[in-house]
Structure 1
Amino acid sequence: MQTLVNVFRPLIQALFLRNEAYEEMREDPNPFVKGLVLIVVVAVLFSLVGIVGNALEWATTPNLDRIQEVVWREVREGPWFEEIPPAERAEALAVTEQFYNIGWRIAKAFAPSPLSAAIGVITNPVALIIGWLIYGFLAHIFARLLGGTGNLGQTYGTTALAVSPRILNLVTLLPYAAVGGVAGTWALICNYLALKNAHRLTPARAFWATILPFVTLFVLVSLLGALGVAIVSSLIQGGWSS
């Protein structure tokens, strides 16, 4: 019981933007390990909570196969079908049904299910840890460039407290409830306080140390996306020319 209190006390303090949570983490003998434990515990716990809410959503969701069947029957019997020349109706119907089924397969992939929620118990901690490691590394570089004095372990430890807004995900116990962008904005503020306290930065410098990692990641993803499009385009053009 005392262990849970020790885990959640700094998280609650960080959630309410209390500077002492970040200062305590900064002075911890091993802030990286403590931060890693916080992230894993929070991710697993609230993934388990999500299973309950997801199961309730799944239980109250209408049968999607039945909906797909009814909607397709209405589409097929619509007036648009009569306007197609008889010789082209079979082909038009086949193409329409193909895209219709693809759309439903995509929709069903995002539909709530106990299995997807259970898988989240594994994938959520992994995703959170990877995101934390990448963001923490970039934030540390920018914080140091801006005159910060903290070490990498302190950066990771304090930014781990940015998972505290995930406590708001308790509302997912209720079917169809969602936190939305509130948790993301709150986490951004937590990261700001983390870098400000870990590196003893001024408010302006802490702001830029918080934002620049996102800018860097956006630029890198955009460049990789453009490179991917260029490669695919060249391959397609090469295939056509041959």
Structure 2
Amino acid sequence: MGTVQQIINLGLEGLLLNPTAYRDQRDSPQGLRRGFMLVVLIGLLVGVASLIGDLGEYVTQPSAATISQAVYDGLREMPWYADLSETDPDFPNQFDQIFTQVTQSIQLFNGGIGRSFGGIITTPIMLLLGWFLFSLISHPMARALGGQASFSQTMACTALAAGANLLALVQIVPFAQVAGTTLLGLIASYVAIREAHQLQPWRAFWATMIGPIILVVLFVIAACIGIFLVLGAISAAFQGGN
């Protein structure tokens, strides 16, 4: 199946978009197993790197309570706050309620340092899930466009796209961020579909993009629903204050 070093080298070949590595994965009887190990290993490495970086941020940045209090004081000192308070005597109470709700929501989504520890487990799981779902959607599309690879060959090749996440290891440095992993991952997935199914470029492109397009549509729908819910909650808070 390969040593850890060999698996990492395989991920680097995927990161560098080496067509030979994708073809070897397609033709190897151990391709699917190596792909599984690659995705899990990269997920663990990224999770640990993110944890170390978050711990560095945690010990160097101000507490959430300090930041929240500074924002609260700053908003109350603005001219519009005084104007609204004079117009509506109950506005300060309404403002405090809304500010508390928003602060609690941000803290809930932020998750704190506990989320970083959980990331060691959730990151590999999410990468595995994304790998499987992408292959599940792109494989029948590639076959419909003339591809010849089996599902296991598709998964063996698309696992190399996880190599793009090696760039996320930069998160081990506190406050460091990396951009472009999603785009590079899509490019690597395109190479994987093209080499696995031996498709012409445009056919490989559409087989690759069908999954992300579906995800974007679902995300837009979910975002619209979320916006309506937030606006409804804010409106209810104002009406409740009156």
TM-score range, shorter chain: 0.7 to 0.9
Shift of 1:217: 3.7
Deviates more, 1:7-16 or 1:63-72: 63-72
Shift of 1:63: 1.9
Deviates more, 1:187-196 or 1:108-117: 108-117
- Gap regions ≥5 residues in structure 2: 230-242
Mark the CA change 1:196 to 1:83 in structure 2 (over 3 Å): closer, same or farther. closer
- Identical-residue share of aligned pairs (%): 29
Deviates more, 1:200-209 or 1:140-149: 200-209
The answer to whether the 8 A contact 2:46-2:123 is kept is no
Could you say which residue in structure 2 is the equivalent of 1:214? 212
Q: How many residues align?
A: 226
- Gap regions ≥5 residues in structure 1: 233-242
Query: Residues 67-86 of structure 1: matches in 2 within 5 Å?
Result: 67-84=67-84
Matches of 2:198 and 2:87, distance apart in 1: 75
Counterpart AA for 1:64: A
The answer to whether the 8 A contact 1:58-1:112 is kept is no
Q: Deviation digits for residues 45-64 of structure 1, max 9, x if unmatched? A: 11011111011111111122
Partner of 1:193, secondary structure, is helix
Query: Residues 94-173 of structure 1: matches in 2 within 5 Å?
Result: 94-111=93-110, 113-173=112-172
Deviates more, 1:205-214 or 1:145-154: 205-214
Mark the CA change 1:129 to 1:87 in structure 2 (over 3 Å): closer, same or farther. same
TM normalised by structure 2 equals 0.83
Query: Residues 1-242 of structure 1: matches in 2 within 5 Å?
Result: 3-84=3-84, 88-89=88-89, 91-111=90-110, 113-180=112-179, 182-219=180-217
Mark the CA change 1:85 to 1:129 in structure 2 (over 3 Å): closer, same or farther. closer
Partner of 1:83, secondary structure, is helix
The answer to whether the 8 A contact 1:57-1:112 is kept is no
Q: Deviation digits for residues 46-93 of structure 1, max 9, x if unmatched? A: 10111110111111111221232233234335444543476942x211
Deviates more, 1:12-21 or 1:208-217: 208-217
Mark the CA change 1:203 to 1:98 in structure 2 (over 3 Å): closer, same or farther. same
Counterpart AA for 2:191: L
TM normalised by structure 1 equals 0.83
Deviates more, 1:147-156 or 1:96-105: 96-105
Counterpart AA for 2:193: L
Mark the CA change 1:225 to 1:173 in structure 2 (over 3 Å): closer, same or farther. closer
